Each structure stands twice: as C-alpha cells, then as structure tokens.
Amino acid sequence: MTKQSIILLGHGSRSEEARNDFNFIIETMREKAPEKNIYGAHMELASPSLQEVVAELHAQNITDIFILPYFLYNGNHIKIDIPEIIEELKAKYPEMQFELGQPIGKNPAMADIILQQVQ
C-alpha cells in the first residue's frame, strides 16, 4: 500500500534566496508532519518541475497525488496552466490519481499571518 504524496507547487524563481525560502517551507512541513510524503515542485524558472516530481513518484509506485498550489490567488496558473499540466500527467500516467487543492490565499489564517507580520 502506498501513501498519498503531497506536492507543494510554487511558482519558481531564478533567485536562490526565493528557492531557499520555498525549500524552508517544504522542510518545515516535513518536520511538522513526518508521517506525510511531502515534495516541492516549481511551475517555472526552477527545478524540480511538477512533471519531474510526478515521474519520481511514479517510479516509486506512488499513485495518489495531492497537489497544493503555494499561490495566493486563483490566477491563470491556478485556473489554466496547472489543470492543463495535470491533464497531461493523467494521460501519461493513467494509473495515478491527482487531486488539486486550492491556493492558500483564501484562508482566514492568512489574515492572522499578515497582522502578525505588521506587528
């Protein structure tokens, strides 16, 4: 039996500092939920890509994938680009199940985080 894998999908950046910040979130998630199978992927400008991570999971016979967009809003990446990539992945790996979560921005906890940053 394989457990579900979670892919936190960020935009990606050429900036090493931005990539390090993203990797910090991935590592923190892994520390807080060691029982989860957590990976990070990027839409563009950095690697690994979503396609590369899914190929790696496929090679490990993991078939249940939850993709969580590390985005604030329902922009074009969320509405168009990511669903198109997922459709391509479904065609390439028909035995795999993909679920796309909602971007994190429309979560009431975001207001608390913003207010905390202001103080």
Phi-psi category of 83—alpha, beta or left, where left has phi over 0 and alpha has psi -120 to 50?
A: alpha
Q: Is 58 a catalytic residue?
A: no
pLDDT at residue 1, rounded to an integer = 44
Mean pLDDT computed over 82-96? 97
Domains of the chain from N-terminus onward: 5-118 (3.40.50.1400)
pLDDT at residue 19, rounded to an integer = 96
Percent of the chain with pLDDT over 70: 97
pLDDT at residue 106, rounded to an integer = 83
Mean pLDDT computed over 69-79? 93
Radius of gyration (C-alpha) of the chain in whole angstroms: 15
Catalytic pick among 11, 42, 58, 77: 11
